[in-house]
Amino acid sequence: MQDSQLILSDEQVITANATTVASTNVIDLGLVYDHKGVALLSFGPENGRDRLIVTVGIKPTAGTALYLELQDCATVDGTYKPVGIGIDSANAIPIATLVVGYEILDVPLPRGLRECIRLLYTTTGDWSASVGTINARIDSGSTTKNQTPVRV
């Protein structure tokens, strides 16, 4: 079972017409603890064991492509800035690729994050009639997959 404090998007429907949509939730790293019971903000993610995982829940039915970026901020209601993890517009993922279970990202959280993090999804094409969903969470553990995030 996934800790709800570690979920950025839980079956979040992205219905936007060529615009950006923030993740449903913001994670406050000062309130969340890693697999050893240490606040993530205290020491940062440990040796790549805390990961950002973004997957497709339901295949989108409209739109052209999707790209996203991880953002951080010192306070929940402050101004969020990109941290350099995500998929940039030049590498937007075509809608045909976004099938159920497709893993968009599985990358270690970077060190030096400010207290609050969120994802910003950007759509190309008209997603306003789409029923597709996105899941995003922080999870502990390593991966055997050879994936390198596209830096934005």
Quick: pLDDT tens for 27-60: 988 776 655 666 666 555 555 567 899 999 999 9
Q: Is the pTM of this model over 0.75?
A: yes
Grouping H, G, I as helix, E, B as strand and the rest as coil, residue 66 is strand
Continuous H helices in the chain = 40-43
Give the Cα separation of 76 and 72 in Å (integer): 9
Report the mean per-residue pLDDT for the chain. 83
* pLDDT recorded at residue 1: 38
| DSSP 8-state symbol, 48 | T
Which residues contact residue 10 at a Cβ distance below 8 angstroms, ignoring those fewer than 6 apart? 24, 25, 135
What percent of the chain has pLDDT above 90? Answer: 47
Q: What is the mean pLDDT of residues 83-101?
A: 93
